[in-house]
Structure 1
Amino acid sequence: RIFCEAYRVGMVGRKYQWLIMGTYSERWWSKETENCSSVELQNALDGCILTDLLPLATSGDVTVSGFTPDEYRAEYDSRRGQEYSRFHGYTYDGIWAVALAIQHVAHKIRSVRKNETVVDFKYRDPVWARVFLEALMNTSFEGVTGPVRFHNNERNASIMLKQFQVGEEVKVGEFNGVTQLLDMSKGQSI
């Protein structure tokens, strides 16, 4: 609705820059509404910058799993059938983060509670909570979605920048959440 209204009042073109989240469904702009045609919407969106999650890292580095992101994608695609989740890489890296944290806890718990192992884990036990939180905060590895590290209980992931160009969302760059660097060479020209 906002872009339809922007089109109607002339807030489109080079004098205006729209920046929006790009997490909509595929080709969302091509759906007609009663007050706005898809052509009007595409004209309003032209040049708009969209931020979206970067589905998989583009570095080509070998990850903690032994796969590069491209090798992981090929394996995922060969097994997924018709199902697809845009978060599949983050789920995969999340499982690795938990597994590595459990491995750390398995070693650490012996120094905190001599007669216990991970099998003795108890929910709502402050010692276990502290040891697990410490393990997650110290987790650091290269995942299929990029570097996996946690800061202030959040993961600093990479962001893909896209621009709406001639009726399509086009990748124009990447922002690395760990290094805080914007790389506009990883995509098409704006």
Structure 2
Amino acid sequence: MKKGANSGEIHNLSMYGQKYLWILPDWTQGSWGANSLPSSCKAENIMTAIEGSVSLAVETLSSSRIRGISGRTAQEYEKEYNERRRLKNLGATKFHGFAYDGTWVIAKVLSRVMETVKFRERYSIHRNFTVTDEEMERMILEAMDKINFFGVTVCT
């Protein structure tokens, strides 16, 4: 089946029933209102196609009370996120915690690379050396491999 196929196509191709099990993220079903359907999709066809499907909820923020790299728990982070979002009248996304933790990864990697470069510059016999793109790529990959911290998202 082609990528991005929707439940209307699933129904038209008869890819539903006892021979099929569709596993859907929980946020998809809430977005299937009658007004949001393509004109080629009928609500009853969609309901027929998803009958018996499994819906999975994704826990995006940790339930742990451990203070992470930012010095706060996931619950404290979420409270601040929601307050700032409301103040600025911004929409919400379920995956904001991943963006937050990803930003911490980038910051930690760049910090580690800068420390490595400073160390090399300080103790190198060549004071004005340059770092090639290949060396920079290697340093970034090495730093990423060593990054390990508690963030606000669920880790397994």
The Cα offsets for residues 48-99 of structure 1, whole Å up to 9 and x where unpaired, read as 2356764322344332112222211110000013323343212211221122
What is the number of residues matched between the two proteins? 143
1:64 aligns with 2:69: yes
Normalising by structure 2, what TM-score? 0.67
Gaps of 5+ in 2: none
Higher Cα radius of gyration: 2
TM-score by length of 1: 0.57
Describe the shift of the 1:92–1:8 C-alpha distance in structure 2 as closer, same or farther (beyond 3 A). Answer: closer
Report what 2:49 is aligned to. Answer: 44
> For 1:40 and 1:14, how far apart are their aligned partners in 2?
16
Instruction: Report if aligned partners of 1:29, 1:42 keep a CA contact under 8 Å in 2.
Output: no
For the Cα contact (< 8 Å) 2:60–2:154, is it kept in 1?
A: no
Partner residue, 1:99: 107
**CA deviation profile, 1:10-62 (whole Å, cap 9, x unmatched):** 65445531135x39767232234434332431232133235676432234433
- Which residue does 2:22 correspond to in 1? 18
The correspondence for 2:31, drawn from 20, 28, 50, is 28
RMSD over aligned Cα, in angstroms?
3.5
Query: What's the offset of the Cα at 1:144?
Result: 0.9
Q: Which residue of 2 aligns with 1:89?
A: 97
Deviations 1:117-152 (A, max 9, x none): xxx9x78543333222211121111111134xxxxx
Please give the alpha-carbon distance, in whole angstroms, between the structure 1 residues aligned to 2:32 and 2:71: 39
Q: Answer yes or no: is 1:75 the counterpart of 2:80.
A: yes
Letter in 1 for 2:30: R
Larger deviation: 50-59 or 98-107?
Answer: 50-59
